[in-house]
């Protein structure tokens, strides 16, 4: 007969992830900052063969979010990485709502 797996002792914490919160915060921060910076500054590079290359400055930092996403998937698993991506989406949505609200409110008369 095979043994059934033993249940965890009451009061014991599940497996902890040492840097999960840090990597999640870094992912969301890079995602938000690259979107905010990208909309705020347009950069132009002079390339020798192509000529002028114009792009949003957030494009420089956005690929870093892929590195964090890959680390999350490889180290913490697909399910946890997906939760972080959804958290990033939620943060972007909330930042969009705040930006919309700030643009929509009327300015002060003497400003």
> 2-28 pLDDT, tens per residue?
566 565 566 665 666 788 999 999 999
Q: Exposed e or buried b for every residue in 71-106, given b needs 16+ CB within 10 A?
A: ebbeebeeebbeebbeebeebeeeeeeeeeeeeeee
Out of 2-6, 73-77, 97-101, 103-107, which region has the weakest mean confidence (pLDDT)? 2-6
Rounded CA Rg of the chain = 22
How far does CA 95 lie from the centroid of its chain? 12
Question: Strand 42-47 relative to strand 51-56: parallel, antiparallel, unpaired?
Answer: antiparallel
| Mean per-residue pLDDT of the chain | 86
Q: How far apart are CA 28 and CA 81, in angstroms?
A: 12
- % of the chain exceeding 90 in pLDDT: 49
Q: Which residues pair with 79 in a beta bridge?
A: none
């Amino acid at each position: 007969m095979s043994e059934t797996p033993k249940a965890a002792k009451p009061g014991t914490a599940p497996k902890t992830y040492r840097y999960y919160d840090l990597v999640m915060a870094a992912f969301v921060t890079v995602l938000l900052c690259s979107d905010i910076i990208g909309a705020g500054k347009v950069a132009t590079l002079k390339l020798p063969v192509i000529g002028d290359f114009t792009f949003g400055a957030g494009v420089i930092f956005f690929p870093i979010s892929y590195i964090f996403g890959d680390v999350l998937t490889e180290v913490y698993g697909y399910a946890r990485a997906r939760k972080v991506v959804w958290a990033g989406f939620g943060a972007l949505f909330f930042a969009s709502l705040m930006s919309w609200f700030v643009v929509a409110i009327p300015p002060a008369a003497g400003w």
